A and B are shown apart, each in its own frame.
Chain A
Amino acid sequence: EVQLVESGGGLIQPGGSLRLSCAASGFTVSVNYMSWVRQAPGKGLEWVSDLYSGGSTYYEDSVKGRFTISRDNSKNTLYLQMNSLRAEDTAVYYCARVRSPGAAFDHYYHYYYMDAWGKGTTVTVSS
């Protein structure tokens, strides 16, 4: 069974740092496309960052230069290092596996969709 479990959230002051973890089971993180998505209180979903199986990384503009996505293959875990945190980063952070809709699309990441999500971890940035 595919499972994703996020951890590492908490209350942090503006300007501080946090590292979120997403422990995966039932599949191998290193050969999958993984994402972080966040949801501010009472708001909608917002994509944060992608990590392709080949190692390429992508970020939403507001987090570029502050957040870093990475993985530890030996621990089968995805991470999100968040630095210079701002009040507007306050949200529930979800990790998700991003999957191909079919073999014909395997090499075309823009067709992929988020087929498995964790329960999320809450980050609150406040003084």
Chain B
Amino acid sequence: QSVLTQPPSVSGAPGQRVTISCTGSSSNIGAGYGVHWYQQLPGTAPKVLIYGNTNRPSGVPDRFSGSKSGTSASLAITGLQAEDEADYYCQAYDTSLSGWVFGGGTKLTVL
């Protein structure tokens, strides 16, 4: 059972918009230190997609965007493409656990 809760799977057709939610608590997302999102393509290492709730590293397409409200965060992907098929993880610092916590991961399927 992960500290941050994500839906196990989401899906969408090419060109559509999907969102992935990440729900935490006052000791992690609600503590305000920032939520980060990672993309893990099949058989590869994770790669940062969004950091600090809304910021995209250079090279990440603007089809990916992040938001945060209270103790929850969301990752939105617009103009879905086949190469977006991957696992997505949210992450935040947890003050009660004194360490990083991840969501359980969401598998995105492009139909």
Contacts and interface: CB of A to CB of B under 8 A. Distances in A.
Contacts of A102: 52
B51 interface: yes
Nearest to B46: A117
B38 A115 contact: no
Interface in A102-122: 102, 108, 110-111, 113-115, 117-120
Sort chain B's interface into a size bin: 20 to 34
A44 interface: yes
B99 A60 contact: yes
B45 A119 contact: yes
B57 A45 contact: no
Interface of B: 2, 31, 33-34, 36, 38, 40, 44-48, 51-52, 55, 57, 87, 89, 91, 93, 95, 97-105
